[in-house]
Amino acid sequence: MRQQVENMLTIVPFAESHIAPFTAWFNALPGNDVWTADWVRSKTLDDPNYDPALMLAAQDGDEPVGFLLGNIVNETGWIKAFLVRPDRQRRGIGTLLFQAAERTLAQRNIETVTAGYAPLYYFIPGVNLKYTSAAVFLDQRGYQTDRTTRVNLDVLIQDRDFNTAASEARLRERGIVVRRGTLTDASALAELCSVNGYQGWMVESRIALENTPSTVFVAERNGDILAFAAHSVVGPVHFGPMLTSPDMRGMRIGSVLLKRCLTDWQRAGHDRCEIVWAGPIAFYARVVGATLGNAFWIFHKSLV
């Protein structure tokens, strides 16, 4: 697919050559400077829902000037990210990209589109409230939000003490062992997520298990997994998901698992992380001094 829209401006499928410029522009956004080309590739070309008719680039000749990353999941249209090169903004490029995506969605009988997020391989949990121009643009295109806010938390990790030896010793006295997860834990983690109503986390826990090394820690007793915490799933310094079986809560298992994840990042040389789509906020504030960080809205539009 190659659609010419005006003069030399064309809309083409997002391709390997677009990863570097998208990464650079995306990292230039406020509070968003952690992404690598490999992470962007995992959210775009390697997304199982990649669709060349909905994951788009606008080009002036051979030079990219804007991007829209969309797909279809569960019979809903999604736009996980959209960007226009800073020096080409307010010239209608974003409008052309949205028109192309919305036209394709309508042709496929998709009735609604959500902007700012897309399951399961999303970048951020919505439109960052710091991105005023993005919110204004969506409003002008007929997208609406109920202003329900999703929040990330910031944790400073440099020179912090996250040692869990004493806590793990107390858990062992109760027969609970904390360890790094392996691929052999995949079915047990999937079951834990499923029975507690977190089907999306089945995929995310599997991604964490497939990282090298695995980026998920589990708590088990007598071979049964009671809880897990994962990192480096959504993004390179993003924590989550984390889940403890309801009947095992209150034993500080989650605190240990969280700190084991943060220790991984300390050893890798990172100085901060984000807890994605965080809750309960009080838990993270108490255990690791997390503070409110980026906040996000989701936007919706009916195509009928």
User: Does the residue 183 lie in any domain?
Assistant: yes
Q: Give the tens place of pLDDT for each residue, 104-130.
A: 999 999 999 999 999 999 999 999 999
Q: How far apart are the C-alpha atoms of 12 and 26, rounded to whole Å?
A: 19
Q: Give the tens place of pLDDT for each residue, 150-192.
A: 999 999 999 999 999 999 999 999 999 999 999 999 999 999 9
- Cβ proximity of 102 and 303 under 8 Å: yes
Confidence label for 279 from pLDDT (cuts 50, 70 and 90) = confident
User: Does the residue 287 lie in any domain?
Assistant: no
Residue 166 burial (10 A CB sphere; 0-12, 13-18, 19+): exposed
The answer to whether residues 242 and 125 belong to one domain is: no
* CATH code (residue 221): 3.40.630.30
Edge-to-edge strands of the sheet including 3-6? 3-6, 9-13, 55-60, 63-73, 76-84, 112-115, 299-302
pTM: 0.91
C-alpha distances in Å from residue 152, one per residue of 34, 80, 177, 239, 273: 15, 17, 29, 10, 10
Structure tokens at 219: 């708590």
Q: How many domains, the chain? A: 2
User: Does the residue 276 lie in any domain?
Assistant: no
Q: Give the tens place of pLDDT for each residue, 35-55.
A: 999 999 999 999 999 999 999
Segments forming the whole domain that contains residue 74: 3-147+297-302
